[in-house]
Amino acid sequence: MDPPRTITIGISGCSSSGKTTLARLLRDMFPETFILHEDDFYKTDSELPIKNGLVDWDCPEAISIPDLEDALAHIHATGTFPPTLDSKEDLNSVGPSPASPSHIAACTARVQNWLSPGQPGSLIFPSNLTSSSPSPSSPQPPQPKKTKVRLCLLDGFLLYSPPHFSRVMSLLDVKLFLRVSKAKAVARREARDGYVTLEGFWKDPPGYVEQIVWPNHVEAHRWMFRGGEVEEEGGGSGGGGGELDWEAVRREGISVMDGGADREFGEVLEWAVGIVMGKMERIVLGGQGEGKGRVEG
């Protein structure tokens, strides 16, 4: 049996921008979906670089990028999670969902409607059984349909950081970027208990976000913002953030929600669901039945 076609969807942005939360929600809404975490490709503790006297977990040099590239190539070829990868990221809690139950229910219902008979999603994810009945000339019972498509959600903080991640970017069919202000990134990350790692457990030392996480985020994503200004001094409209270079972003096929950083997470979820459905329709169906009202930067 031929392997299913696999669509890879990157979800990137600064640490604590909501990537993992969004990936888990989308996984629960869409069928045939699994998550690959960039954090599962960290190098060993002894290989991590040092910056400002602190271990730097938030730079490209901390990630085994060739292994991540190989994992994506395997997923494209087979539609399956790499069998030798032992995920540690799923052991980390992301806390309660910032999306309200009503937002989650509405988005789930929207996906279910999209998957219903006669809708575009039903062509991408066919039902488990064929609709044909046995006939005298062909008395066999209905056979399971092969799944046309699987979805792999890649959750990572530096996925759109050329040249280090240029091949990773080329292996992604859909690219979502989540914005967050420095203030909110600091508050969210400092509220976390810590992280399970290959060799134990890591908790950020004091000042880690200000000295490591945010400067690395700015340096990696300057190319996406006019004048390289990732966040305006004193914040800006919509919770802070510089002005996106939309031409550069669109040239790389990256979808960003308009309206600045720190959008209400329920709105981010609604936006992401619409983008995923619209992109799937374009990729798999060539635009047939493409929905309306999708907001995409």
Residues forming the active site:
39
Whether the upstream peptide bond of residue 163 has omega within 30° of 0, thus cis, is yes
- Angstrom distance (rounded) from CA 264 to CA 125: 30
Structure tokens, 46:
């002894």
Taking the chain, what is the end-to-end CA distance rounded to the nearest angstrom?
38
- Angstrom distance (rounded) from CA 43 to CA 188: 24
- Angstrom distance (rounded) from CA 293 to CA 297: 13
- Angstrom distance (rounded) from CA 41 to CA 69: 10
Structure tokens, 250:
């669109």
Structure tokens, 178:
């989540």
Structure tokens, 200:
């134990």
CA distances from 62 to 21, 56, 88, 127 (A): 22, 7, 16, 42
Contacts of 246 (CB under 8 A, 6+ apart): 297
For 186, phi and psi rounded to 5 degrees? -65, -45
- Angstrom distance (rounded) from CA 274 to CA 292: 9
